[in-house]
Copies of this chain bind each other. A is one copy, B any other.
Amino acid sequence: QQPMTAEKKTSKEQLMHSIAPEVKKIEQVMRQDLQVATVNADPLLREILQYGLFNGGKRLRPLLVVLSAQLCNCRVNPKKDKKSAVYELAVAFEYLHSASLYHDDVIDHADMRRGKPSVNNKFGMIAAILGGDFLHSRSMYLVGALGGVEALDIFCKATNAMVNGEFVQLRNTQDISLSETDYFAAVKGKTALFIAATCELGALVSNATASEQQALAEYGMNLGTAFQIIDDLLDYQGNPVDTGKTVGNDFQEGKMTLPLIYALSIAKPEDKKRLLLLIEKKSVTEHEFIEAYGLIEQYNGFERSRKKAESVVENALSGLQVFSDEKCRPILNLFKLLTQYVLSRKK
**Contacting pair A130 B167 (CB below 8 A):** yes
The distance from the CB of A138 to the nearest CB of chain B, in whole angstroms, is 7
Q: Does A37 contact B (CB under 8 A)?
A: yes
Q: A137-B136, A137-B140 are in contact. Are A164 and B41 (CB under 8 A)?
A: yes
* Tally of chain A residues near chain B (CB < 8 A): 39
Q: Which residue of B lies closest to A108 (CB)?
A: B126
What number of copies of this chain does the assembly contain?
Answer: 2
Q: A130-B163, A137-B136, A137-B159 are in contact. Are A125 and B107 (CB under 8 A)?
A: yes
Complex interface: chain B residues within 8 A of A163 (CB): 45, 130-131, 133-134, 137
Q: Which residue of B lies closest to A162 (CB)?
A: B133
Q: Does A152 contact B (CB under 8 A)?
A: yes
Q: How far does the alpha carbon of A107 sit from the alpha carbon of B126 in the complex, in Å? A: 6
**Contacting pair A160 B144 (CB below 8 A):** no
**Contacting pair B164 A138 (CB below 8 A):** no
Q: How far does the alpha carbon of A126 sit from the alpha carbon of B136 in the complex, in Å? A: 17
Q: How far does the alpha carbon of A195 sit from the alpha carbon of B30 in the complex, in Å? A: 30
Which single member of B42, B134, B140 contacts A140 (CB below 8 Å)?
B140
Q: Does A266 contact B (CB under 8 A)?
A: no
Q: How far does the alpha carbon of A145 sit from the alpha carbon of B148 in the complex, in Å? A: 8
Q: Which residue of B lies closest to A185 (CB)?
A: B40
The distance from the CB of A192 to the nearest CB of chain B, in whole angstroms, is 15
Convert A105-135 into 0s and 1s, putting 1 for each residue whose CB lies closer than 8 angstroms to a CB of B. Answer: 0110000000000000000011101111110
The distance from the CB of A87 to the nearest CB of chain B, in whole angstroms, is 18
Residues of A within 8 A of B (CB): 37, 40-42, 44-45, 103, 106-107, 125-127, 129-134, 136-138, 140-141, 144-145, 148-149, 152-153, 156, 159-160, 163-164, 166-168, 170-171
